[in-house]
């Protein structure tokens, strides 16, 4: 095992890549009572086309494949994996987003047994025509449920408006057509590439003995056989710089209109260092200008243009980036006008060194609070590793940022052709 000491935050991480390619991250915290384990494949809803190892032709899989697989791996035909975790006294679940699928548990005992169960059920798919077909109705109902939630619908509307071709524009669950036409063969095609140990990471954080845990994981993997596999290539369509649609208006059963502005950050792969810096600066900018303690938020609130639903969020990733800002509003057009005006003013904002240093300290404080969570640490280690970054180097990275870095970012952050406005109006 490789031992990594992060003296800035007094953390020790053990890392090992097993002979089958699986990367293992262990963060032992013996002073805690609980343990969190997460097993992640670098495969999400936006991964719909790839060239398999030793092949030249691209393979396409249906929208929603990653999420469908997440559902099916818990079903073993004669038993349900959730019940097995329950017998060990743990809670288990999973999630799929645009970039990854993760399976996880939380426990206060039986740590090794839980990790072994986590590895075993994910690495042993039970897929038959009958079990795959049985799931179609369940996932279709889930799709319909989310389609009826205004917050979910406007989030997807923004992605559809921002991106013309990149698969991030699609709902992670897929479409009703792709769900109802999903086949066992399509799921196996995705599983055989994206669920190979070389594309997966296991992270365990909490109360356990590092040597005992690592020995158990090695033994578990040595008993399993996986096909030899090399690098495969993900394929994404060429995406335009400007938004697909500058405006989209939907009608739903809502009492108050809901407005969301989307910012198309970038498309195409960017270097790891640039990705890390951009993620930090985007989140710091949003926190500084749009948090509830900021002057702009107060102005919007006093003008009664927003309510407590006001939100800002950003997704910065390997091949795409976008930001959303919005709220319920009785005057959605005026709110959009005010936010766009404020966004465009940032390129010439009068910023001082003292302001930026305060922002850096505030960001470091929030980061340290997040790092008090074993769940955040395990998930953060995986997310950063898959992007060539180091989670526990986040604070030094913040400290190294300069006012010029921030000004340079703000100067090119906003462009009219990369903005969209989506609104949900009452029916």
**CA-to-CA distance for 270 and 370, rounded, in angstroms?**
26
**CA-to-CA distance for 392 and 11, rounded, in angstroms?**
8
Q: Residues 256, 375: one domain?
A: yes
Active site residue 70: yes
Q: Residues 80, 174: one domain?
A: yes
Q: Residues 120, 170: one domain?
A: yes
Q: Residues 154, 288: one domain?
A: no
Residue 30 has a pLDDT of 86
Looking at residue 148, the DSSP 8-state letter turns out to be: T
Residue 1 has a pLDDT of 87
- Beta-sheet pairing, 23-28 with 11-17: antiparallel
Contact 43, 122 (CB under 8 A): no
> Which tokens belong to 20?
């089958």
Residue 17 lies in a domain: yes
Residue 411 lies in a domain: yes
Domain of 191 in residue numbering reads as: 2-234
Q: Residues 252, 228: one domain?
A: no
| CATH classification of the domain holding 259 | 3.30.830.10
Residue with tokens 């070389």: 198
3-class secondary-structure state, position 283: helix
The DSSP H or E segment spanning 289 is helix 272-290
Residue 77 has a pLDDT of 80
Would you write out the chain's pLDDT as a tens digit for each of its 427 residues? 899 988 888 889 999 999 999 999 999 998 899 999 999 999 999 999 999 988 899 999 999 999 999 999 999 888 889 999 999 999 999 999 999 999 999 999 999 999 999 999 999 999 999 999 999 999 999 999 999 999 999 999 999 999 999 999 999 999 999 999 999 999 999 999 999 999 999 999 999 999 999 999 999 999 999 998 888 999 999 999 999 999 999 999 999 999 999 999 999 999 999 999 999 999 999 999 999 988 999 999 999 999 999 999 999 999 999 999 999 999 999 999 999 999 999 999 889 999 999 999 999 999 999 999 999 999 999 999 999 999 999 999 999 999 999 999 999 999 999 999 999 999 9
Tell me if the pTM is above 0.85: yes
Residue 230 has a pLDDT of 84
DSSP line for 8-77: TTTEEEEEEE-TTS-EEEEEE-TTSS-EEEEEEES--TT--EEE-TT--S-EE--TTHHHHHHHHHTB-S
- Which of 16, 55, 70, 116 is an active site residue? 70
Q: CA torsion, points 392, 395, 397, 402, in degrees to nearest 10?
A: 180
Q: Residues 410, 328: one domain?
A: yes
**CA-to-CA distance for 111 and 133, rounded, in angstroms?**
34
Q: Residues 153, 7: one domain?
A: yes
How many Cβ atoms from other residues are within 10 Å of residue 21's Cβ? Answer: 15
Q: Residues 164, 49: one domain?
A: yes
Domain endpoint, select from 209, 234, 259: 234
Q: Residues 157, 281: one domain?
A: no
Domain endpoint, select from 203, 234, 265: 234
Number of domains, the chain? 2
Q: Residues 181, 268: one domain?
A: no
Residue 70 lies in a domain: yes
Residue 408 has a pLDDT of 96
Q: Residues 221, 285: one domain?
A: no
Q: Residues 229, 321: one domain?
A: no
Domain endpoint, select from 204, 234, 264: 234
Residue 157 lies in a domain: yes
């Amino acid at each position: 095992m490789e031992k990594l000491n992060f003296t800035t935050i007094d953390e020790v991480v053990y890392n090992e890549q097993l002979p089958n390619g699986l990367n293992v991250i262990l963060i032992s915290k013996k002073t805690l009572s609980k343990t969190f384990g997460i097993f992640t494949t670098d495969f999400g809803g936006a991964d719909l086309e790839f060239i398999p190892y030793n092949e030249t032709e691209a393979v396409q899989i249906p929208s929603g494949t990653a999420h469908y697989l997440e559902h099916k791996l818990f079903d073993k035909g004669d038993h349900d994996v959730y019940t097995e975790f329950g017998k060990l006294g743990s809670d288990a679940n999973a999630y799929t987003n645009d970039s990854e699928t993760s399976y996880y548990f939380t426990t206060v005992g039986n740590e090794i047994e839980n990790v072994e169960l986590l590895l075993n059920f994910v690495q042993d798919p039970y897929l038959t025509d009958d079990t795959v077909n049985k799931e179609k109705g369940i996932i279709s109902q889930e799709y319909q449920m989310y389609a009826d939630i205004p917050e979910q619908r406007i989030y997807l509307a923004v992605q559809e408006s921002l991106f013309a071709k990149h698969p991030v524009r699609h709902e992670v669950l897929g479409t009703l057509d792709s769900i109802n036409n999903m086949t066992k063969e399509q799921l196996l095609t995705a599983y055989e590439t994206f669920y190979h140990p070389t594309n997966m990471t296991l992270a365990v954080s909490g109360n356990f003995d590092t040597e005992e845990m690592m020995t158990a994981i090695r033994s578990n993997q040595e008993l399993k056989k996986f096909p030899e596999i090399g690098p495969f290539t993900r394929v994404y369509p060429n995406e335009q710089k400007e938004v697909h649609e500058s405006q989209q208006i939907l009608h739903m059963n809502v009492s108050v209109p809901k407005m969301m502005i989307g910012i198309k950050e970038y498309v195409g792969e960017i270097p790891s260092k640039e990705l890390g810096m951009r993620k930090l600066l985007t989140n710091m900018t949003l926190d500084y200008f749009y948090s509830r303690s900021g002057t702009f938020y107060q102005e919007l609130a006093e003008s009664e243009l927003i309510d407590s639903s006001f939100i800002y969020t950003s997704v910065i990733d390997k091949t795409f980036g976008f930001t959303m800002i919005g709220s319920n509003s009785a005057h959605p057009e005026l709110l959009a006008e005010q936010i766009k005006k404020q966004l465009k003013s940032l390129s010439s904002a009068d910023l001082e060194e003292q302001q930026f240093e305060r922002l850096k300290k505030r960001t470091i404080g929030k980061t340290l609070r997040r790092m008090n969570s074993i769940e955040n640490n395990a998930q953060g280690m995986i997310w950063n590793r898959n992007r060539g970054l180091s989670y526990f180097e986040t604070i030094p990275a913040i400290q190294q940022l300069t006012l010029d870095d921030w000004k340079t970012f703000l100067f090119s952050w906003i462009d009219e052709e990369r903005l969209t406005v989506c609104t949900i109006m009452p029916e």
